[in-house]
Structure 1
Amino acid sequence: MRGQDARNRVTSTIIADGLAQLPAQSSAVYNEVMDEMARTGEEGMASLVGMLSPSGKGNNAPFEYAISSVTDYVTHPDKAALRDGVKQGLVKGLASCKDNANKAFLLAQIQKVATAADIKLFMGYLDDSYLQSHALEGLALIPGVDAQQILKMGGMRVSKIGIAHLISMRKMADNSLEEMLLAWIPSADAATLKGIYDALTYCGTEKSMKVLAVAAQKTGFKYEETHATDAYLRLLNRLVASNSKAVMKASKQLIAQGDRAVRCGGLELLLQSAGTKGAAEVLKALKDDDIQYRNTALKMAQSCAGDDIYASVLRNFGKLSPAAQCDVVRWLGNNHVSSAVETVANAMNNADETLAKAAIQAAGKIGGERALASLCGQLGGKYAKETMDALLAFNGKVDAAVVGLLADTNPSTLIYALRIVSNRHLYSAYAAVLRLLDNQNDEVKQAAYGALAGITRLSEFTQLCDMLEKADAATASKLQKALLFALHTLSPEQQFAQVSGRMAGSKRPQLYYPLLSQAGNKEALQLLQSEYAKPSTQADAFAALLKVKNPEAVSTLYTIAATDEKRKDAALMSMLSLLKASPKNAMSRFLDYTKALSLNPSAAVKNSFIGAIGTIYELPALSWAAHYLSDKATSFAAATAVKNIIAKNKGLQKGAMTRGWLEKAQQVFAAKTHDADAGYAVDEIKGILAKFGTDGFAPAMNDGKARRGLSLNTKKSYENFELYAEWRANEVSELWLRSMPAIRLTPSGEVEILTSGSKAISGKQGVVPAEWNVLYVKLVNDRLMVVSNGVVINDNAIFAPKDGKNAANISGLIKFISDGDGIDVCNCYVNELPSTPVFTLSKEEKAQGFEVLFDGRSLDKWQGNFDNYVPEDGSIYVKAHFGVGGNLYSKKTYSDFVYRFEFCFVNPGVNNGIGIRTKLNTNAAYEGMEIQVLDHDDPIYKGLRDYQQHGSVYGIIVPKHVKFGKLGTWNTEEIRAVGDRITVTVNGEVILDGNIREACQGHHIAPDGGKSNPYTIDHNNHPGLFNKEGHISFCGHGEGVKFRNLRILDLSKKKVRK
């Protein structure tokens, strides 16, 4: 198994690589892995099956998941070419499998891709008591198989319930099977009876009807374990077409039962078997007292009695009870029976309220001129509301009829007609509605003004504006709504152009402010701001600003709140609504929330903003919420926010500071003795406190200003830590970490990480110039993470001096430094993280001349992929995924050397490698040498080639097999390279000692120049095998391995000194 994700892999490599990537991180990766594994065909799938352990003796989940996924993958129509290879691999694996549970699993997979040619395979397991049911499942589902052939070949070897199941699954309508099934009934248990009854529904005749009828009667036609009643009803349904007389007789017996469901089932059967008598049976059923029974008849009526049933029912309509008439009217409406319109129209006037309302609703569904006229006649009557609803949903056009109603003199008719006009947007009614604006009835007049909001178009904009400027307060708001509707299809810019043009010549511009609110674009906001500045229009402009939906209005509303005490609360609440719906990230919203709270609004508004802060689960939000715990008016909202933030962020569930805040919140809840929710909160907090950690965030420094000659800094030095701080820069300022310049903060919003190899991050990056911002910093070993206002600036910057000449400080103070007017800092908290274990050479190695390549803190002696090779707790943690990010290389090159290190497998099956004498950015296994690092005993490597195991010179020399301890165990390794001799020692034992030139007989490249090399074990060319020198590298091929205590003895230097 090579370290790199190179493509010339053997089958076992492809399978192992695939297993290591499952479950996949994305659908693209999943499909790539599936395709690679499926293309290994019979060999690959058989090896994958071979990895299954006996049930209960190993974790088969990864292998079952892979096998099932690959099998599903090849069932796709466009993967048919891969299907047979996968199937043959499954069949081969099944043949060698000894575990019943695994066999059952494999049969289920083969079933997915089986064809008629596979019938014998499944038949072969019919004698197996454990696997018989699984084999039958396959036989039942394989397409293109003669079911009778199955029974003839395996009938004597299959259980009764198995055969019944097979008959049911394949829906075998063969009457010759009936006698066999019926003969089994007397001695069958309940489970077998259920299977037999189910099978009889597919192959039974009138003889089975009688048997099932008796069985159902014995149960009282109730639901029970044999499902006799259900089977009886299903058999009758199947036999309706072939034996209607017998079914009709049986159906009448069912109808005579007391159970509603059984009676309705019997009625369905009766109607299906009644033939020409179907209509009579429907009419008879409509006289029943059971509403469900009547509606079962109506549901079946048309399909069983044809379209003539409608006329039959209508002729007998008057003979029905009011309840049955309601059922019929609804049925006629749902089926849009136009011939029933007279009956329905007459029913609208029935004294029975339920029937009248049902008729009105039905008329709307039926549609047509007669129904429309009848409904219009009802609009001013007792059921005007129901009539309006019917006309709003009317099946067809109502324009002319409803507009005609606007000439009516009945106020009720006019009011409801106007509502219909508006809701159905009957633009043709505009002129008629205008005439009603002068109606003597005030309710009609107001309804007419209201109707304009659904029927005006841009062409009426000027006329409506003229009306608006002459309107009184009562009608002005309705005209404004009409104008809003007239403009609503335009873009914000087009709306603003229309409105601003009209405002320019108006003596009452405030009338158009609501229209500016709807436009809501930048220009509309600016115009409202300028109108707000005028004392005469300030109130109206403010009301309009409160309705703007554009998040850009936040700054305007904040300015008003900061300068207008009377309007502060209203402005802030509108601002809060916009912020909650804005696309800003959580930390940016938090800063806006704190700005609002800094204005000291009313307690109610404070509590609303504190509640919003409580949805941001980070320390700055927690700190602000805790600030309000001491104020009685805000303590409950603050306590809720504190509890929620800490509960949602486990990183805050430690430390004396956050514990104190949570305990204070607990006291607030405990004081609410009559509040059950507060009691639950107390219990929740007790649970959190019981698991609280000790070390956490604590104040780092006092709030203040750093300026020329005066820095803000911590009192103690820190090595590894995370930091939160709120800051506001007035001059270019710097944040120093470990007493070194680390981050530059400027008033213009530029953030620059001042470390070696890091680039300046230009632009706002979430920073708001001259306002408060939140900075999060995490520094561990040589890695720096910087987040500004929720925007990640860099999550893996190398912490080293900018000039790259000197080593970074191991620890030091945290400082804010600035010139001039400086930088304001508050709410600065630090969480000190554990110090990194540091590796130093032993006296012996130091005397020998070993050099430390990694001391636990810094990768300053390495180059390449720093993103996926990260210092962690004194080791290098590898998180390089397959084919992602590249390798890590030593800065120096080496020829002869002794390289020592320790390694630890964190994840099972992890794969890496040590490249030696390799060039940069190449495949070390071929352009140098790769000493394999592999958890080779993991089940995914079953069938691994010996030249792929841990310690091999990959593809060249086979090592002795090493048995590793459990995951998390540290192992020692030494690689000695002297000329052509390579020696590998693991945990004190030499596992490889060989000559690379002798191993390939001097032919690292095929003599004939071809791709296949008969002299190397892996039969590949290794052009870099005889490199005289090169880099040391880590060849990442999956996440989950650690390295530590790296040191090297350069033997070539010793030769030079000699």
Structure 2
Amino acid sequence: MRRPIAVLALAALAIGLAGAVISPAFARSGSPAPPDDLGSRVASIVGRFPGDSAAATTALAAELVALGPAGLARTLALVLPPDEGNDAKARFAVNGLAVHVTRAGAEAERLVFAKALLAALATSRDRTVASFFMTQLQLCGRAEAIQPLARYLTDKDLAAPASAVLQAVGGPEAVRALLKALDTAPPAARLSLVGALGALRGREAVRKLLPLTDSPDEGLRRAAQAALAEIGDPLAAPALAKVRVAASWNERAEAPALYLRFARRLKEGGRTAEALEAARAVLAAYGRPNESQTGAEALTLIVSILGEKAFPDLVRAVKGPSPALRAAALEFAALGTGEEAALWVEEAEAAGPEVRAAIVGMLGRHRDPAQVLGYLRECLGDADKAVRLAAIRTPAPRGGRPADFFPLLAGADAEEAAALKAALLQFRADEVVPFAARLIGTTPHPGKAALIDLLAEKGARGEFGRVFALAGDPDPATRTSATAALAALSGEGDLADLVGLLEKAAEAEDVVNLQNAVAAAARSNPDPALRGAALVELLRAAPPARKAVILRVLPRVAGAKALSAAVAGTEDPDGQVQTAAVYALSQWPDYAAAADLRRIAATTGSKRFRLMAVEGYVRLIGRAGMTGARKAALFEDLLAQPFDDADKKLAVAGAASVREPEALRLVGRFIDHPVLGETAAAGLLELASEQAPHERWLSGHEAYSLLRRVQAKAAGDPAEYARIDALIAERLRQGGFVPLFDGRSLAGWKGLVSDPPARAKMTPQELAAAQAAADERMRAHWRVVDGALVFDGGGESLCTAADYGDFELLVDWKIDRGGDSGLYLRGSPQVQIWDPAANPVGSGGLYNNQKGPSKPSEKADRPVGEWNSFRVVMIGDRVSVYLNDRFVVDNVVLENYWERDKPIYPSGPIELQAHGNPLWFRNVYIREIPRDEAVPSIAAAELDEGFTPLFNGRDLDGWTGDTKGYAAENGKIVIRPELASGNLYTAGEYSDFTLRFEFKLTPAANNGLGIRAPLEGDAAYAGMELQILEDGSPVYWGLRPYQYHGSVYGVVPARRGVLRPAGEWNAEEVTVKGRRVAVAVNGVTIVDADLDQASAGGTIDGNEHPGLKRTSGHIGFLGHGAVLEFRNIRLKELK
């Protein structure tokens, strides 16, 4: 509560623009804004950066350009030095401008913005800001930037970005400026200058750079060498060709690459002789195996210079000791002429086995092999295995014949057999199947296995008997190859034999192979209605042991007949048959088995059967082609059953795989369960591990609360705790939050300087001195301990360095017994914090209010010594507060404590109040809420489509009903529940239509959209009500599915998780045509339903909804006591 002792505050920024978000409506225009309006217009546009898309960012940049040079200057003034505020949006805006003005046909805009950047740069007193402006000039600067930037080339801190600008601009003038600065620049700056000169490839720089290659400064020496290599002037050859004895390891490592770059630049400059000499020098010096990359680059350059005449160079590389360099040379050789291919045969015949094999491999893929086909066939019988393999792997179209390959299988080892099989598979079936069938009985393993595989892959069903006989071979390798091949060779007529063999199989691999063969044979009937029927007939007549064998195969067959047989098996009196049947259902490939698995799980007395059934049911739900909400509902039903924890673990894990907010809530119920908690926590972390753009709910209140609870369970594992903290921070970032406290330092915070009115009276010098003293006191009493802001009880309050207007604030806090504190918003007290035992009313209230409510609606504090969590939303002058997920302050006006006759300030710091007792704060994040820009009007394209406005933006003409609680304000319809909270309807009635509108929610806001509604009665039943609800609020975490935003109340549930946070505008489209209703929010369809189908057999809420039968009626907003805003309401009647 407020005491007369020190209070927390922060001086407003001198220009007041960083926090300015006031946005009066204005029409877009190409003329500059008047001075009195300019600051707010700039702040309004900048506050909307970055746009939701590239097109939106471009549009915002165009708005800033339209404000003229003065507007651009004001935009650049919003870029701040570090620790002076959050200027992220301003930097996004400046970068967006730099990109926007470089588009084709915008030279005039580019020049204006570049000059604005140069002017801002000239007056900047902060080097980081100056550096940022230079990075933008890299994008949009041209010749006009050269002379202004030249003054920075000798600045040790700014030479690098300045050089980068000149490098981007290019041209002789930029080179001259860099050369001029080189003589007087300090060592730290010269590196950047030298690098830019090299990138610009200015030959006039060579004579100045050459002496630097002998500089005692290694960095400068290396930079000069790199620049000379890039320029490519012959004068640099001696300096680059040698490496000093005293050269560093880095210089020695870089030398060949630099010399090759130098050679490439020589070639580009037409000096091919010098380039060739340099490349050959590198190739000769770097031909060892560990230097192959350098040698290959040199060889590439040689080939690019000589073309076909590089044959001798290629031969030398192939004969060298480096396999990698040899491979690179042969890649070039494969692209040569047929005559060159013949020359390579001569080289191969004279070479040793390793080189000969490599050449044979190249000839096999040569682009013109006609002259070497005979030699390749000869190599199939070479005494060396490597050569044989190279020849075998020659593509079949290169002249090989099946008869060349089959004889080799008799003596082949596993590697050669695999290569021979791959070669034979390139031929047609009629060319190889007769050979394979004839040789399969006499060829030893592994050649026999290759022949079996060949028959299978060629689909030689006529050879089933031969392969089936081998499936019982005593040799394991032969048997396994044969059983694996049977699936490709079997038909329905083979089922009895296959089942008999499967029943006898003992090895796991053989069992799997034969199950595949049985399934393939059962599915081979071309008539879909009869597939599996033959196997089911075998099942009926089989003894129990064989039944069990067949049942385990049925999931691979699937279909209605197989499923019926598996279900029947669950009722078989034989235990092994029952077990096999339940197992089969648990492995079923599609959702058709789900109902039976659910039934077995609920009725069986066997724990083993229940576990199998639940496992299968969970798997099928995950695979099913149904909505995520439906999957979550099925898992919720499963978890409501009186099953063992082992069964429920499967269901919890399954639910966590559903990426919907319903699943998040369901899994979250089990965080504190003694057995299921670990599974639930792991599932939630996996669910939140990434976030797609449409998954806003993963950044919302409920997800944040659950993840913090998961994190608390990991308190004993620092690494896991930190990992979860980083995950939460990333989700918050995607939700628009930024940290106010980094967990490590007091960066972004300042000490208290008096109160806002007193600060406003100070001169800048007085304020600066007072701030310096306050910061000194702050550092004496506020510190960071174990990731928390800790106050020792002395000193004064802590203030954010930046001001904030509308925002959503997250902060955890802890207090000592008897303690007292609070949060000041916009520099004014306060959201109360105190010991709940000493103050039974509890924390969270707006303690200093005198006219409006000052107490929380309920006590939600945790005991002293435990962490509490605030979520505070401030929009305009109204504040909403959640304490530990309980809604304790509902949209209450925060009164101005300092100046009671005035409203609360439009912006100001957030302050952590010091009150003479120890305090702890952590997890402090803020989401700034943009204030309204100009109210959009109906787009020309929509007018062409036939849309007309339902609301004129000035008054409620055309509306009827509660015109007291609803009012037209600033182009919006605003609900003021303190005046009334009824229903506001259109005066006219509508039947089929498309309605589009925008709406802004406050925390826990509740309203509805009535369609086809009468003026009397409850629109939810007498007509239809589409929910309008801030359903991410904890207030609504227990709703029924048909009560969430967009739902046709009581009739059709809507997809959840697409709303933007409280305080931001949402766009909704409702289409009603005949019996169909569709709802889209922010571009995502959340309802698309046929009303007759949805209400067939009764509505899901169990109530009568006679309004579903209405064919026309009024459109209305249905008040439920909450503040909301609507705008841009337009409608198109459908014929």
TM-score, with length taken from structure 1: 0.54
Q: CA deviation at 1:109?
A: 0.7
CA root-mean-square deviation: 5.9
Q: CA deviation at 1:112?
A: 0.9
Q: CA deviation at 1:48?
A: 1.0
What CA distance in whole angstroms lies between the structure 1 residues aligned with 2:636 and 2:1125? Answer: 42
* 3-state SS in 2 of match to 1:407: helix
Q: Do the aligned partners of residues 374 and 25 (structure 1) sit closer, same or farther apart at CA in structure 2, a change above 3 Å counting?
A: same
AA matched with 2:27: N
AA matched with 2:277: M
What CA distance in whole angstroms lies between the structure 2 residues aligned with 1:27 and 1:148? Answer: 35
| Conserved? CA contact 1:201–1:235, under 8 Å | yes
| Conserved? CA contact 2:373–2:399, under 8 Å | no
* 3-state SS in 2 of match to 1:224: helix
Q: Which residue of 2 aligns with 1:211?
A: 239
Q: Which residue of 2 aligns with 1:325?
A: 356
Q: CA deviation at 1:49?
A: 0.5
Q: Which residue of 2 aligns with 1:924?
A: 969
1:287 counterpart (277, 297, 319): 319
| Conserved? CA contact 1:190–1:226, under 8 Å | no
| Conserved? CA contact 2:195–2:227, under 8 Å | yes
Q: Do the aligned partners of residues 403 and 171 (structure 1) sit closer, same or farther apart at CA in structure 2, a change above 3 Å counting?
A: farther
Counterpart check, 1:399 vs 2:429 = yes
Q: Which residue of 2 aligns with 1:548?
A: 588
Q: Which residue of 2 aligns with 1:416?
A: 450
Q: Do the aligned partners of residues 341 and 521 (structure 1) sit closer, same or farther apart at CA in structure 2, a change above 3 Å counting?
A: same
What CA distance in whole angstroms lies between the structure 2 residues aligned with 1:221 and 1:325? Answer: 41
What CA distance in whole angstroms lies between the structure 1 residues aligned with 2:904 and 2:152? Answer: 54
What CA distance in whole angstroms lies between the structure 1 residues aligned with 2:117 and 2:525? Answer: 63
2:229 counterpart (183, 186, 201): 201
Q: Do the aligned partners of residues 620 and 110 (structure 1) sit closer, same or farther apart at CA in structure 2, a change above 3 Å counting?
A: closer
* 3-state SS in 1 of match to 2:257: helix
Q: Which residue of 1 aligns with 2:461?
A: 430
| Conserved? CA contact 2:287–2:295, under 8 Å | no
What CA distance in whole angstroms lies between the structure 1 residues aligned with 2:905 and 2:153? Answer: 55
Please list the CA deviations of residues 1005-1035 of structure 1 after superposition, one character each: whole Å capped at 9, or x if unmatched: xxxxxxxxxxxxxxxxxxxxxxxxxxx9989
Q: Do the aligned partners of residues 149 and 353 (structure 1) sit closer, same or farther apart at CA in structure 2, a change above 3 Å counting?
A: same
Tell which structure's C-alpha radius of gyration is larger.
1
Please list the CA deviations of residues 920-969 of structure 1 after superposition, one character each: whole Å capped at 9, or x if unmatched: 76663489999xxxxxxxxxxxxxxxxxxxxxxxxxxxxxxxxxxxxxxx
Q: CA deviation at 1:836?
A: 6.4
What CA distance in whole angstroms lies between the structure 2 residues aligned with 1:246 and 1:917? Answer: 77
What CA distance in whole angstroms lies between the structure 1 residues aligned with 2:228 and 2:87? Answer: 40
Q: Do the aligned partners of residues 212 and 876 (structure 1) sit closer, same or farther apart at CA in structure 2, a change above 3 Å counting?
A: closer
Q: How does 1:317-356 map to 2 (within 5 A)?
A: 317-333=348-364, 338-339=369-370, 340-356=372-388
Q: Which residue of 2 aligns with 1:598?
A: 643
Q: How does 1:671-686 map to 2 (within 5 A)?
A: none
Q: Which residue of 1 aligns with 2:960?
A: none
Q: CA deviation at 1:315?
A: 1.2
| Conserved? CA contact 1:366–1:395, under 8 Å | no
AA matched with 1:136: S
| Conserved? CA contact 1:521–1:550, under 8 Å | no
* 3-state SS in 2 of match to 1:876: strand
AA matched with 1:8: A
What CA distance in whole angstroms lies between the structure 2 residues aligned with 1:238 and 1:178? Answer: 14
AA matched with 2:73: A
1:563 counterpart (604, 609, 614): 604
What CA distance in whole angstroms lies between the structure 2 residues aligned with 1:164 and 1:870? Answer: 53
Q: CA deviation at 1:371?
A: 6.2
Q: Do the aligned partners of residues 625 and 853 (structure 1) sit closer, same or farther apart at CA in structure 2, a change above 3 Å counting?
A: closer
Q: Which residue of 2 aligns with 1:101?
A: 128
Q: Which residue of 2 aligns with 1:383?
A: 413
AA matched with 1:239: L
Counterpart check, 1:8 vs 2:53 = no
1:190 counterpart (207, 210, 218): 218
Q: Do the aligned partners of residues 269 and 472 (structure 1) sit closer, same or farther apart at CA in structure 2, a change above 3 Å counting?
A: closer
Please list the CA deviations of residues 158-216 of structure 1 after superposition, one character each: whole Å capped at 9, or x if unmatched: 456555433322344x4x554443355455733332232222224344442222122x2
Q: Do the aligned partners of residues 31 and 440 (structure 1) sit closer, same or farther apart at CA in structure 2, a change above 3 Å counting?
A: closer
1:517 counterpart (552, 555, 561): 555
AA matched with 1:574: G
Counterpart check, 1:244 vs 2:285 = no
Q: Do the aligned partners of residues 1037 and 93 (structure 1) sit closer, same or farther apart at CA in structure 2, a change above 3 Å counting?
A: farther
Q: Do the aligned partners of residues 74 and 206 (structure 1) sit closer, same or farther apart at CA in structure 2, a change above 3 Å counting?
A: closer
Q: Which residue of 1 aligns with 2:879?
A: 876
Q: Do the aligned partners of residues 236 and 87 (structure 1) sit closer, same or farther apart at CA in structure 2, a change above 3 Å counting?
A: closer
Q: Which residue of 2 aligns with 1:150?
A: 174
Q: CA deviation at 1:526?
A: 5.2
Q: Which residue of 1 aligns with 2:692?
A: none
What CA distance in whole angstroms lies between the structure 1 residues aligned with 2:427 and 2:578? Answer: 47
* 3-state SS in 1 of match to 2:880: strand
Q: Do the aligned partners of residues 486 and 71 (structure 1) sit closer, same or farther apart at CA in structure 2, a change above 3 Å counting?
A: farther
| Conserved? CA contact 2:872–2:881, under 8 Å | yes
Q: Which residue of 1 aligns with 2:835?
A: none
What CA distance in whole angstroms lies between the structure 2 residues aligned with 1:59 and 1:518? Answer: 60
TM-score, with length taken from structure 2: 0.51
Q: Which residue of 1 aligns with 2:209?
A: 181
2:91 counterpart (50, 54, 64): 64
AA matched with 2:616: S
Q: CA deviation at 1:402?
A: 3.0
| Conserved? CA contact 1:5–1:1037, under 8 Å | no
Q: Do the aligned partners of residues 516 and 684 (structure 1) sit closer, same or farther apart at CA in structure 2, a change above 3 Å counting?
A: same
Please list the CA deviations of residues 487-535 of structure 1 after superposition, one character each: whole Å capped at 9, or x if unmatched: 98999xx845644699689965979867863575678645642454455
Q: Which residue of 1 aligns with 2:199?
A: 169
| Structure 2 runs not aligned, ≥5 long | 1-19, 29-36, 184-189, 504-510, 658-662, 687-702, 724-839, 859-870, 883-889, 894-899, 911-925, 936-952, 957-962, 976-1120, 1128-1135
Q: CA deviation at 1:155?
A: 3.4
Q: Do the aligned partners of residues 506 and 190 (structure 1) sit closer, same or farther apart at CA in structure 2, a change above 3 Å counting?
A: closer
Q: Percent identity at matched positions?
A: 17
| Conserved? CA contact 1:223–1:229, under 8 Å | no
Q: Do the aligned partners of residues 150 and 298 (structure 1) sit closer, same or farther apart at CA in structure 2, a change above 3 Å counting?
A: same
AA matched with 1:321: G
Q: Which residue of 2 aligns with 1:314?
A: 345
| Conserved? CA contact 1:888–1:1035, under 8 Å | no
Q: CA deviation at 1:87?
A: 3.9
Q: Do the aligned partners of residues 681 and 74 (structure 1) sit closer, same or farther apart at CA in structure 2, a change above 3 Å counting?
A: same
Please list the CA deviations of residues 96-139 of structure 1 after superposition, one character each: whole Å capped at 9, or x if unmatched: 43444323321221221234565555456556665444333222
Q: Do the aligned partners of residues 472 and 233 (structure 1) sit closer, same or farther apart at CA in structure 2, a change above 3 Å counting?
A: closer
Q: Which residue of 2 aligns with 1:297?
A: 329
Q: How does 1:409-558 map to 2 (within 5 A)?
A: 409-411=439-441, 412=443, 415-423=449-457, 426-427=458-459, 429-433=460-464, 442=473, 450-451=484-485, 453-454=487-488, 464-469=491-496, 472-474=499-501, 481=516, 484-485=519-520, 495=528, 498-499=531-532, 517-518=555-556, 525=563, 528-530=566-568, 532-533=570-571, 535=573, 541-551=581-591, 553-558=593-598
| Conserved? CA contact 2:23–2:43, under 8 Å | no
| Conserved? CA contact 1:388–1:420, under 8 Å | no
* 3-state SS in 2 of match to 1:323: helix
Q: CA deviation at 1:370?
A: 0.6
* 3-state SS in 2 of match to 1:316: helix
What CA distance in whole angstroms lies between the structure 2 residues aligned with 1:355 and 1:592? Answer: 66
